[in-house]
Amino acid sequence: MLYFIALVPNREIREQVKKLKEAFRNNYGAGHALKSPAHITLQMPFKRVPALENDLCESLEQFAGNQKGFSVGLKGFGCFEPRVIYLKVTGHEPIQKLQQDLKAMLAEKTGFTPDELTTKIHPHMTLATRDLSEEAFYKAWPAYEHRKFEATFPVSGIFLLKHNGKSWDIFREFSFNPS
């Protein structure tokens, strides 16, 4: 099975982001990002046999139980020229620390190899990727470069997403320590 680990915003922000992704599909022919819910990737996709799923979930549950919640801000649009347009994340530090701690745990407790581990992240929330042609990118970017978008959401856990053969589903949420 194919999985990845991410931060996923609340339903209201997921819906707002879905509408933005739909606009990219409708206006620029870039619908690939609709194959996953709004998220900030902590660990890129990786393969695991279904028999190891419970062990992975136990490790993630233990890890999350030792984490403290924080807030994530989204403000404005950014790009990785010439194929990706995303929502900018403000205040990267807690996300980057969480990702580094997660990486260490995955290597130590779940047998991730160095090649499987996401080494460094630039926290963002993708709106258009892969199927956004270079031509469409250069049409879309001027329309979004200075456009306003602002939201904040609480992070109270990490999510394991699982590929169903066509798209990504939220498989499990692992809650942080509430105290």
Q: In three state form, how does the secondary structure of the chain look? A: CEEEEEECCCHHHHHHHHHHHHHHHHHHCCCHHHHCCCCEEEEEEEECCHHHHHHHHHHHHHHHHCCCCEEEEEEEEEEECCCEEEEEEECCHHHHHHHHHHHHHHHHHCCCCCCCCCCCCCCEEEEECCCCCHHHHHHHHHHHCCCCCEEEEEECEEEEEEECCCCEEEEEEEECCCC
**Structural domains of the chain ordered from first start:** 2-175 (3.90.1140.10)
Q: What is the pLDDT along the chain (179 residues), one digit of tens a residue?
A: 999 999 999 999 999 999 999 999 999 999 999 999 999 999 999 999 999 999 999 999 999 999 999 999 999 999 999 999 999 999 999 999 999 999 999 999 999 999 999 999 999 999 999 999 999 999 999 999 999 999 999 999 999 999 999 999 999 999 999 87
**Would you state the pLDDT for residue 159?**
99
Measured on CA atoms in the order 82, 19, 162, 5, is the torsion positive or negative? Answer: positive
Whole-prediction pTM = 0.96
